[in-house]
């Protein structure tokens, strides 16, 4: 059963077509990798799916319900939670309070939010930093904190945009471990990453985009050996 369906979504920026009739579905409980060279439209698509951009045409459906054009806060309450490529936390609030704010925004009672926040902090190995302002954390620790905010309420789908970029291997493994465990428990993910070894390890299926269009969608190893995908990446390297 499809959790999220994307049907013929297109987006223009002036005369540039950033997304070109993008169509695919993410089924309940899937962990799907979204890959492609720089400028292929991955983040633009994630911004549309999470309500930070509007599509110029096409439809997005969550659990059979059209969600095209809904604002980020409405989508978050429906369970569409995302992590940004450029980390967004409240730097002058503590690690714990960052998560409590997320819980409050998603409608959790205070006691329940506190319990969930503390569990996440332990799961992400941030216990020693719990009461530090987020601005005092390293870049990787801030990524862990934002990553954790996606799970204060179990999401219908977690949209993770480059969670492993410029992150220390130890922190990368912490995030990967959380993804593995939650996927094994049935969590649905759409994971954008340039880290191909991680995509191969975590994602049974991958979708490759290039120039705003889907050029491959199948088992991950088959996608990565597809001549069209290889040409897209080689073209980027040669540019």
Residue 155 contacts residue 80 (beta carbons within 8 Å): yes
Enter the pTM of the model.
Answer: 0.91
Q: Which residues touch 158 (CB under 8 Å, ≥6 apart)?
A: 81, 82, 83, 150, 151, 182, 187, 188, 189, 190
pLDDT at residue 88, rounded to an integer: 82
**Domain range annotation of the chain:** 2-89+153-238
Calculate what percentage of the chain has a pLDDT beyond 90. Answer: 83
How confident is the model over 213-228, as pLDDT tens digits? 999 999 999 999 999 9
* Mean pLDDT calculated for residue range 167-177: 92
How confident is the model over 17-47, as pLDDT tens digits? 999 999 999 999 999 999 999 999 999 999 9
pLDDT at residue 239, rounded to an integer: 44
pLDDT at residue 237, rounded to an integer: 52
CATH superfamily of 2-89+153-238: P-loop containing nucleotide triphosphate hydrolases (3.40.50.300)
């Amino acid at each position: 059963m499809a959790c999220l369906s994307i049907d013929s979504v297109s987006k223009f920026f002036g005369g540039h077509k950033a997304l070109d009739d993008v169509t695919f579905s993410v089924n309940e409980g899937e962990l799907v990798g979204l890959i492609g060279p720089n400028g292929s439209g991955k983040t633009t698509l994630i911004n549309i799916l999470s309500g930070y951009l509007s599509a110029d045409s096409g439809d997005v459906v969550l659990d059979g319900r059209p969600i095209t054009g809904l604002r980020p806060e409405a989508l978050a309450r429906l369970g569409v939670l995302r992590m940004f490529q450029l980390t967004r936390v409240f730097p002058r609030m503590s690690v714990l309070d960052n998560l409590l704010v997320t819980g409050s925004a998603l409608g959790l009672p205070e006691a329940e939010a506190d319990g969930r926040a503390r569990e996440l902090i332990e799961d992400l190995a941030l216990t020693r930093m719990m009461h530090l302002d987020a601005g005092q954390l390293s870049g990787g620790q801030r990524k862990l904190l934002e990553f954790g905010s996606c799970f204060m309420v179990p999401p219908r789908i977690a949209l993770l945009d480059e969670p492993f970029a410029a992150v220390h291997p130890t922190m990368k493994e912490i995030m990967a471990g959380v993804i593995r465990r939650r996927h094994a428990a049935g969590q649905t993910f759409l994971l954008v990453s340039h880290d191909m070894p991680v995509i191969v390890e975590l994602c049974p299926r991958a979708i490759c985009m290039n120039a705003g269009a889907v050029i491959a969608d199948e088992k991950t190893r088959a996608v990565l050996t597809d001549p069209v995908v290889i040409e897209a990446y080689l073209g980027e390297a040669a540019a």
